[in-house]
Structure formats: structure tokens, C-alpha cells
Amino acid sequence: MRRILVFTLMMLLAMRASTSWAHGVVGDYVFLEPLITEDPTPANELDILEPSWVKSSDANDYSIGFSGEKVLWIDDNDMPIVSLAGGTTWHHVSPYEGPSHEGVDNPEVALKYAFFYSLQHEFLLSTALIADIPVGNKDIRDQSHTSLGPEFLWEKGMGDLPNSPALKYLRPLGFQGDLGYLPALGGQTSHDLFADAVVEYSFPYLSNNVQDIGLKWPFRNMFVFTEFNYDQLLKGPSGQTFPTIMATPGISYVSYHYELSVGTQFALNNAAVPANHATIIGLLDIFYDSFFPKWGNWTINRGPGE
């Protein structure tokens, strides 16, 4: 409970009014950084705090994740096209029986490429090459072999719907998703198939692009969302290859400089129940190019930003 109160207090203290944007912009739609789903848009960002608490059937898992992403190439429309990202997570696992253990999980590195977008239709497609490097703590990491595989990502805003009385309030809807396969390059475990989808509703888009209904700060900068998360080992030990399907609802506050999000998870199938009796997930995502526009916006093809 103390961790929940501290995170909530931090979230309230960090908020301040802002109507500008620095992340995930495709046309007029600003997409949020999801809690679980991979963000399809290449971006300059630093997830400096990703706290979570997961209560399973046999342990409590307290973790803090951290990751960063750097845009390497932008096109003539100032759209980010290529980025490099990496991150890992520290865990403290407290079993109901036996000693606790803690350590850092395997780091993950991803090279992302946005190969198609339409600003008019608020639509973007990207792909990524993901590598999981087995250098984490042996008591924490999922597997001890390098994994390497592809990921397909997409996002679509609904702003191109007619601005009619019947449909205009659907225009702030946005959708994001990913589909990936991460096979181990050695051994027989951790051939992982995963897919995620996000449904989000943008109150900033509602106020700025549809109709100003009088929302005040901080609600004017907020999103509500639900993620649907699927994960399955295609090869692995007996009894561990069933798919887990989860729902991850939450809320986000997005400003020009940062995003603050908090959510929970619910099991949607029997295989997911033992690993998730209760969950709280948080995110503090810093858009560092808004603080350091010159070097934060550096790219290979243009050099330092202005």
C-alpha cells in the first residue's frame, strides 16, 4: 500500500498544465506510450521509472524497469523513421515459502523502422528486430540463451471519421498493436510468440480537434486506455506452453515533457490466473528532446537539432 501511495503522490506532484506535444505524433493524433504494448512510433524518450507489483500464486514480485530510445533518422516531413532502444528490469521476488532473491533481468535491444505512414489518416506501420541478451541474474532471467526475432507494429487514430453528431465523439479513439516472435538461438526454451493491442481515448484530441467540452487541467491532458496482452511459449517445458491472455486498463497524463501512467491487470484465461492475482503497473516516460532539443534531436542524417 505504501508503494501505491508514493507512486500516486509522485504522479500528482509531477503534473503541470501543458497543451504541447513531443512524442508519438502522427498527423493530428498523439499516441501514448503503452504500459505493455510496444510503441510503434520511433521516439526520443527515457522510461526512467517503470515500477510494478505482481502478486502470483506463489510469490510477490516487485520490479523497476528502465529503458531508453533514440531516433537515428528522420525524413523530409520531420517524421522519425529509425530508432534504437534498449532496457532491462530489476526484480525483487519474495516467495511465500523459501528465501527471497533479486537481480537484473536480461537486457533487451531493439532496432525500429517506420516503413509507412499517412499523416492524413493518422496511420503508421513499423517493424523491429529484437534481441534478448542472456547476461541477467540467473535467478531472475527467463532463459540463458540469446533470443532474436522480428516484431510488427501499427497504430491508427480515428480522426478521419466524419465530424458528424453521431460519429465525432469516436474521433478521439486510437488503436495500437504489435505482433512478435522471439525464438531462442540455442536450447529448447523461450520460443516466445506475443501480441498486444491498445484501445485509447484521447481527451486532448477531444478538446482540441472535436469539441471543447470545458475540461480543465489535468483532465484535458489525460487518456484512458485498455491493453489486451497475449503471450505464449511455442516450445518449452511441459505445462508452460499454454497462452496467457491479460487485460491492462489504465489512465495516462501526457504533456510536452513527459507521460505518467498507471494501470492494473486482469487475467482473461485460466492459464494467466496463477501468475496474476493482483497487479499494479506504473510508468514515468521523459521526452528528453524537449529538454535538450539540440542533442536530443540529433540524427545521423541531420546532425544536431535546432
Q: Give the chain's domains with CATH numbers.
A: 2-296 (2.40.160.40)
Report the alpha-carbon distance of residue 148 to residue 184 in Å, rounded: 7
Indicate whether this model's pTM tops 0.85: yes
Average pLDDT over residues 192-204: 97
| Residue of 167, 264, 159 lying closest to 202 (CA atoms) | 159
Report the alpha-carbon distance of residue 268 to residue 280 in Å, rounded: 16
Q: Calculate what percentage of the chain has a pLDDT beyond 90.
A: 75
Average pLDDT over residues 105-132: 97
Report angle CA 208, 211, 213 to the nearest 5 degrees.
100
| Residue of 145, 116, 114, 121 lying closest to 132 (CA atoms) | 145
Q: What are 101's strand-pairing partners?
A: 93
pLDDT over 80 (residue 13)? no
How far is CA 278 from its chain centroid?
A: 20
| Residue of 263, 250, 253 lying closest to 224 (CA atoms) | 250
User: With bands split at pLDDT 50, 70 and 90, how would you rate the model's confidence at 5?
Assistant: very low
Q: Look at residue 22 in the predicted model and tell me its pLDDT.
A: 52
What is the grid cell recorded at 97? 515459502
Count H helices and E strands in the chain, helices first: 3, 16
- The residue that leads in pLDDT, 242 or 110, is 110
Give backbone dihedrals phi and psi of 187, rounded to 5 degrees, phi first.
75, -175
Report the alpha-carbon distance of residue 256 to residue 253 in Å, rounded: 10
The dihedral through the CA atoms of 144, 246, 204, 222 has a sign that is negative
Digit-coded pLDDT (tens) for 219-254: 999 999 999 999 998 876 655 678 999 999 999 999
